[in-house]
Amino acid sequence: MAIPRQLPNAITIVRILCAPVFLWMLLADGGADGALRWWAAVLFIVAIATDGIDGYLARKHDIVTDLGKLLDPIADKVLTGFAFIGLSILGELPWWITIIVLIREIGITVYRFMVVSDHVLAAAWMGKLKTLAQGLALSFALLPLWTLVGDWIFWVNGVLMTIAVILTIASGIDYIVTEMRAARAKRRDA
Ligand SMILES: O=P(O)(O)OC[C@H](O)CO
């Protein structure tokens, strides 16, 4: 069955629009573990889940566009970036973690735009794994599961966040090394 060509990019744009609504819900009553906090977490989880859907639809129906390749990582970064910032504002995540993540995410995005006239730097598998790890870690950090299962869940959250931060740094380095190798090969062939 054919789908509208704009559908994958429309899903990506909806993901971006969800981010400010999610942040408002998270911060509205000071991050307290009431209904708004649960709804904020659910909205984040639904929005981040669409990350797989837009790319899958575009590939399945062979309607992958350069705009989609650029927009998809930006949508992920806006959503996860807002979540990192929100958790740090609430004092639930150290600011240094949020700052490291933002430096990597903004750095790769700026680089993507710098090289766009030469080539489109599409998301690499490690970047996709990083987004998955961030999504999982942030979902656990946002859901007030401690109210249901007790404080041991903070230990799980810590492990998930550590994995996400390591993958964030490693995938950033992976892009740099891959791009440097490609540039060197191009110079050699010229
Ligand atoms: O690591 P990036 O910047 O390529 O982003 C990866 C995307 O979020 C994957 O959907």
pLDDT in tens, 102-158: 999 999 999 999 998 998 888 899 999 999 999 999 999 999 999 999 999 999 999
Indicate which CATH number applies to the domain containing 157: 1.20.120.1760
Copy the structure tokens of residue 32.
């307290």
Q: How far is the C-alpha of 91 from the C-alpha of 109, rounded, in Å? A: 27
Eight-class DSSP state of 54: H
pTM summary value? 0.92
Per-residue pLDDT of the chain (190 residues; tens, 9 = 90+): 788 888 999 999 999 999 999 999 999 989 898 899 999 999 999 999 998 899 889 999 999 888 888 899 899 999 999 999 999 999 999 999 999 999 999 999 999 999 989 988 888 999 999 999 999 999 999 999 999 999 999 999 999 999 999 999 999 999 999 999 999 998 998 8
Q: Tell me how many domains the chain contains.
A: 1
Q: Please, what is the end-to-end C-alpha distance for the chain in angstroms?
A: 45
Please indicate, yes or no, if residue 53 is contained in any of the structural domains: yes
Atom of ligand 1 nearest to the CA of 171: 1
Please indicate, yes or no, if residue 11 is contained in any of the structural domains: yes
Please indicate, yes or no, if residue 26 is contained in any of the structural domains: yes
ipTM value of the model?
A: 0.95
Taking the centre of ligand 1 as the mean of its atom positions, its distance from the CA of residue 18, in whole angstroms, is 18
Please indicate, yes or no, if residue 40 is contained in any of the structural domains: yes
**What's the confidence (pLDDT) of residue 109?**
94
Copy the structure tokens of residue 92.
């639930």
Please indicate, yes or no, if residue 1 is contained in any of the structural domains: no
**What's the confidence (pLDDT) of residue 47?**
96
Give the residue numbers spanning the domain of 30.
Answer: 6-189
Q: Which residue's alpha carbon is nearest to atom 8 within ligand 1? A: 73
Taking the centre of ligand 1 as the mean of its atom positions, its distance from the CA of residue 72, in whole angstroms, is 7
- Residue bearing tokens 């390591």: 166
**What's the confidence (pLDDT) of residue 167?**
98
Ligand 1 cavity residues, CB under 6 Å: 51, 72-73, 76, 108, 123, 127-128, 130-131, 171
Taking the centre of ligand 1 as the mean of its atom positions, its distance from the CA of residue 104, in whole angstroms, is 11
- In whole angstroms, how large is the CA radius of gyration of the chain? 18
Q: How far is the C-alpha of 86 from the C-alpha of 28, rounded, in Å? A: 11
Please indicate, yes or no, if residue 19 is contained in any of the structural domains: yes
